[in-house]
Chain A
């Protein structure tokens, strides 16, 4: 059995399609926790969860503050809050100023997840139009986690994966299909 228990994915422009493809391919008995930190419009509160839930039998929810992190569960960072992952394996929210013009900030979530979940964490950065997530991904690697970045040549918008590669030198650079295969074959 793998040491990994948690997968955190950051993405922005051009990442929604691959996220839905990942969810579409997850087996019913997928034993891990998947945490999605996606840039989203703060006023569109309805429809996002529903669109993702339609792709998987696993529960998809926006965590409440101090909610325990469950396995076999998909979480999506709520709009207009930052999402921290605490060492006691709970979520914590914050309404601090936007980071990299974003709330939720991928950097902030990935950095706290790296610190709190250490070697049990896989961090994945997908397509996006700014550099958010690059520093956070490095924190995951620094704390012993596995880091994966979508191949910029395979990304709809290459700025975010390129920044993540430059900052982190990740263990794996994969195409979207290879990322899906990696996740569903994780054992």
Chain B
């Protein structure tokens, strides 16, 4: 862990400079998370003072970019919470697939784990009607997601999930292996729409049948969480489905507009009158 111990005023100062340099505003991120990630960044880059950090962020776009990489956390595993993926396969997709013009959104994506987990499950269905949209905050994230590359270490971290999946998963069937890099085969990539967007400003109105938004709000403070839930609500069709993280909750306002459709999983359906 880092030897630097940043104060609240340091964090505010640093985030202001990051916003100036990158256009990305982390001021509404959860405080302790931002504090730890900033201290970790300083430790790993041998930066010993706030002044030094700000100098380097201002001087080098590469360092500013690396700082963003430290803050944006990709989903930790493929098929995280395997029981959720089993539920998607058994209970959500069989009903959804009969509809026309299905649209699915991976919102605020920071890695390809959720997308490729879904595409793997979807591969068991005939799915010509489905459009899949992936939005990320930066081009760099989209580029990483498009590549569909995972490390051996990443696959090992996901191994237990794969064992719990009801769909038998054969890694050789999904990935092309090159040394320790596993690349998703093109038949699992499908036709995808990739966008960068400011999720909190750009409006998607009543477009999507499913929005995947798992474990993003944990990094936000309450104000940003409220904003993001409003955007998600607007972006879903009536009776559209929202997936959030296992330990995330809706706020009071959104709670009235969604119905939980599974007792143990954080899967919600938008109420028709919302």
Given A86-B30, A92-B32, answer yes or no on A65-B218 (Cβ-Cβ < 8 Å).
yes
Tell me if A92 and B30 are in contact (CB < 8 A).
Answer: yes
Tell me if B30 and A135 are in contact (CB < 8 A).
Answer: no
Tell me if B73 and A95 are in contact (CB < 8 A).
Answer: yes
Q: Which of B152-205 contact A (CB under 8 A)?
A: 160-161, 164
Tell me if A62 and B247 are in contact (CB < 8 A).
Answer: yes
B120 CB, min distance to chain A CBs, angstroms: 19
Tell me if B248 and A64 are in contact (CB < 8 A).
Answer: yes
Given A43-B160, A64-B248, A80-B76, answer yes or no on A87-B215 (Cβ-Cβ < 8 Å).
no
Given A43-B160, A66-B225, A94-B218, answer yes or no on A115-B32 (Cβ-Cβ < 8 Å).
yes
Interface size class of B (residues with CB under 8 A): 20 to 34
A166 CB, min distance to chain B CBs, angstroms: 15
Is the C-beta of B65 less than 8 angstroms from some C-beta in chain A? no
Interface size class of A (residues with CB under 8 A): 20 to 34
B148 CB, min distance to chain A CBs, angstroms: 20
Tell me if A112 and B32 are in contact (CB < 8 A).
Answer: yes
- Taking Cβ atoms with an 8 Å cutoff, the residues of B that contact A are 1, 5, 8, 30-33, 35-37, 73, 75-76, 80, 160-161, 164, 215, 217-219, 222, 225, 245-249
Is the C-beta of A108 less than 8 angstroms from some C-beta in chain B? yes
A92 CB, min distance to chain B CBs, angstroms: 5
- Taking Cβ atoms with an 8 Å cutoff, the residues of A that contact B are 42-43, 62-67, 78, 80-81, 84-87, 92-97, 99, 103, 107-108, 111-112, 115-116, 135-136, 139, 142
A133 CB, min distance to chain B CBs, angstroms: 11
Tell me if A65 and B32 are in contact (CB < 8 A).
Answer: no
Given A93-B218, A95-B218, answer yes or no on A115-B248 (Cβ-Cβ < 8 Å).
no
